[in-house]
Chains A and B, each alone.
Chain A
Amino acid sequence: MLAYILRRLLYAIPILIGVNLFTFGLFFVVNTPDDMARMQLGVKRVTPEAIQKWKAERGYDKPLVWNAAAAGSGALTDTIFFSKSVRMFVGDFGRADDGRDIAREIGDRMGPSLAIALPTFVLGLFVAISFALLLVFFRATTLDFAGVVLCVAMMSISGLFYIIGGQWLVSKVWHLVPISGYSGGLDAAKFLILPVIIGVIGGIGSSARWYRTIFLEEITRDYVRTARAKGLPERVVLFRHVLRNALIPILTGVVVVIPTLFMGSLLTESFFGVPGLGSYTIDAINAQDFAVVRSMVFIGSVLYIFGLLLTDVSYTLADPRVRLQ
């Protein structure tokens, strides 16, 4: 097990290097730092001095990959590639355009992101699986059909509609919770409850339908017939046998997103004014803060790769037959 995990971590290294090279290519080779400076300072009437100043402030005034002027190892290290891309591996993301340290900002904003994403994820999983089991319990009846129709209709509604509609109904018409905002401590609950509920409702359509398909696939198996022949009530068959065996395909899709919960949700956070990583990313995109977007791309990939590893490990917990080697 440990050896397996170690080997998987080794496999992750070339992929992370690939992601790193890709972002470097995207941000510095497709567009030169001069282009970015001209874009941010306004295309017209920009002086070469202003561009030089912009580049110097951000440390973009070095050669891309090979600094011929520097001596010794400085030829490699005193470059944009080394200072901006390679340094990301040790958690050094540099500074944002407003001068703050990106790594520190990310640390501060993880909490609020997680405070929304984690309850949404757990509650959403619980509700969707319960709903899917209910539909499977009443399979091939009108109730099942109506449930599937509801799922398809719900997944055809834009996520923006759930957020805008929920804010309007709950906060504006009923005045139950504040429209947006955030505060630390227990006070946060009143800000969190609406985004969490909206997140759960918005995700229920597609996931419940997917789980239903998985359950229906399991329910035709022989072991289910055996369990019924033993005289087990349908409730027990569903919960103890079907649910347990359907876990593997469910885990495949679910566990991988757990680490990325840290990243938060772009939409929810920006609509509800939560100071998390999602709204950080959106602000950076709107302000065209390339350094922040680059860092988020890298962190997102690290978390995703970690999620893949977690998925494999979770298989052994869910199914004793799976051996990792």
Chain B
Amino acid sequence: MTAFAIQPVALWSDALLFVLISVIVALTLWARRQGALREAWARVAKNGVAMAAATVLAVFVLIGLLDSLHYRARLEAPPGATARYAVEVNSALDALLSELRLRAETTYSAPLATHLFAREALENSTQREFPRLRYGGAHLGDNLSGHALDIAVRVSRGLAGGVVAWILLMLLARRMKVGAGAPCVPGTPLRGQAMAIRAVTITLLPILLLFGVAISLGGGYHVFGTDKVGQDVLYLSLKAIRTGLLIGTLTTLVMLPAALLLGILAGYVGGWVDDLIQYVYTTLSSIPGVLLIAAAVLMMQVVIDTHPDWFATSAERADARLLALCLILGMTSWTGVARLLRGETLKLRELEFVQAAQAFGVGSFAIMRRHILPNLMHIVLISLVMDFSGLVLAEAVLSYVGVGVDPTTISFGTMINTARMELAREPMVWWSLLAAFSFMFALVLAANLFADAVRDAFDPRSSA
């Protein structure tokens, strides 16, 4: 077998993420053939705010997906020897950001700083001074008078790069006839679509500008400073996106099968099955969410700690813990969805098309699968998008409480948790907190806006 330079590694969460994406693609293809669903999506696509939010979300998803392609690099070995691979599991994003990842300082440094944040005793001096950073501003040499000018030059270069990239993208889009010549969904006025496309292009401009500035500044400085062990905070923030996305989406994905099955069964079969299922979800939902999560996570920690032999690498253990957290969060949130699905099934069961199917002698399971399930898809979709932002926020809180992701997993919660220790410091170490909160705010705000548009388009009650 030929030895490749890398060995792909599929963590369980990666696999589930790709399952989720293929499900979404399959559902999209299916929805294209369903008139009502296509119309609802067309309503979302006409909504300028929703499309701007979707653009921001798409950027986040892209970063998260890049971070989900994991591999182990091949170690240097004499030719002819069997290939050996590093223990460390990296992702495609790590490879892209290797400059940020590898240029670690020794401890805290402020954004764009050239010196460390704390005084240290230098070797050849009796005084305690701020040591120079190893990488931040290293290209300036000993002459620091050009620091401000260098930053200004880099910012303007980054802005210019962003504008150029945006113009190129627009020209490319024009060439590919996105926009003007896009096939118009029958019955939708062109004006709405044109506005939505304008919203996307307008959103892309600031995103590209931010990317340009970050790339240009990041070449010479730590844009958001460094954390306690000297890691670049920008790199940490970008890595945290994947954790947030995973928790926000996988939680709903893992709880959906149970919620769908039990909700439809309770609504369609009725009788003692209904009573039993209702009893189960009433019992579970009467336990306050945080406490249920805390209790379950404590127990999960015991299981993981008493079985260290289950996991080959620490990345695998952290990944298992992330998945378990999704499962536990799902355990607390499926009750609400199941209740909604049961109520909707009760309504559908009495409709003519279901009764006609019954009269034709179609089996119960076939009716549930063919006639009930497709008509519940809007509830599933709405709960998927509505839960997302809450789950991203919940992750930060849970990690603070100590029942969140593994401490070695980079997430917004662990970033905030390690940074809050430094709040009492004078002067304050504010940058990692601010970076984590800003990234989280952008992600959650985009998700909220998009979710609102989806709910308005799909919920029959709100389309007044």
Q: Please encode chain A, from 296 to 325, with 1 for each CB lying within 8 Å of some chain B CB and 0 for all others.
A: 110011001100100000000000000000
B367 interface residue, CB < 8 Å from A? no
Q: Which of A27, A220, A300 contacts B299 (CB 8 A)?
A: A27
Whether the Cβ atoms of B445 and A290 lie closer than 8 Å is: no
Which B residues touch A285, using CB under 8 A?
A: 294, 298, 401-403
Interface centre among B284, B294, B412, by most chain A C-beta atoms within 10 angstroms, is B294
Whether the Cβ atoms of B298 and A293 lie closer than 8 Å is: yes
Which A residues touch B290, using CB under 8 A?
A: 266
Interface size on A, residues (CB 8 A): 49
- Cα separation A267 to B291 with both chains bound (whole Å): 13
- Cα separation A43 to B306 with both chains bound (whole Å): 7
Whether the Cβ atoms of B287 and A158 lie closer than 8 Å is: no
Which B residues touch A267, using CB under 8 A?
A: 397, 400-401
Residue of A nearest to B419 (CB): A164
Stretch at the interface among A14-22, A52-60, A133-141: A14-22
Whether the Cβ atoms of A19 and B400 lie closer than 8 Å is: no
- Cα separation A157 to B437 with both chains bound (whole Å): 8
A192 interface residue, CB < 8 Å from B? no
Whether the Cβ atoms of A281 and B294 lie closer than 8 Å is: yes
Q: Which of A39, A153, A156, A300 contacts B287 (CB 8 A)?
A: A300
Which residues 290-314 in B have Cβ within 8 Å of A in the complex?
290-292, 294-296, 298-299, 301-303, 305-306, 308
- Chain A, interface SS category: helix
Whether the Cβ atoms of B302 and A152 lie closer than 8 Å is: no
Whether the Cβ atoms of B306 and A156 lie closer than 8 Å is: no
Whether the Cβ atoms of A293 and B286 lie closer than 8 Å is: no
Which residues 55-89 in A have Cβ within 8 Å of B in the complex?
none
- Cα separation A286 to B302 with both chains bound (whole Å): 13
Residue of A nearest to B304 (CB): A39
Query: How far is the CB of A197 from the nearest CB of chain B, in Å?
Result: 19
Query: How far is the CB of A167 from the nearest CB of chain B, in Å?
Result: 8
B416 interface residue, CB < 8 Å from A? yes
B234 interface residue, CB < 8 Å from A? no
Whether the Cβ atoms of B423 and A164 lie closer than 8 Å is: yes
A254 interface residue, CB < 8 Å from B? no
B324 interface residue, CB < 8 Å from A? no
Whether the Cβ atoms of B402 and A301 lie closer than 8 Å is: no
Query: How far is the CB of B54 from the nearest CB of chain A, in Å?
Result: 15
Whether the Cβ atoms of A36 and B302 lie closer than 8 Å is: yes
A288 interface residue, CB < 8 Å from B? yes
**Given known contacts A152-B449, A297-B295, A160 and B397 CB-to-CB distance under 8 angstroms:** yes
Whether the Cβ atoms of A156 and B448 lie closer than 8 Å is: yes
Interface set of B (CB-CB < 8 Å, partner A):
279-280, 282-284, 286-288, 290-292, 294-296, 298-299, 301-303, 305-306, 308, 389, 393, 396-397, 400-403, 412, 416, 420, 423, 428, 433, 437, 440-441, 444-445, 448-449, 452, 464
Ranked 7 nearest A-B pairs via Cβ = A18-B283, A300-B288, A156-B445, A156-B444, A31-B302, A301-B286, A39-B302
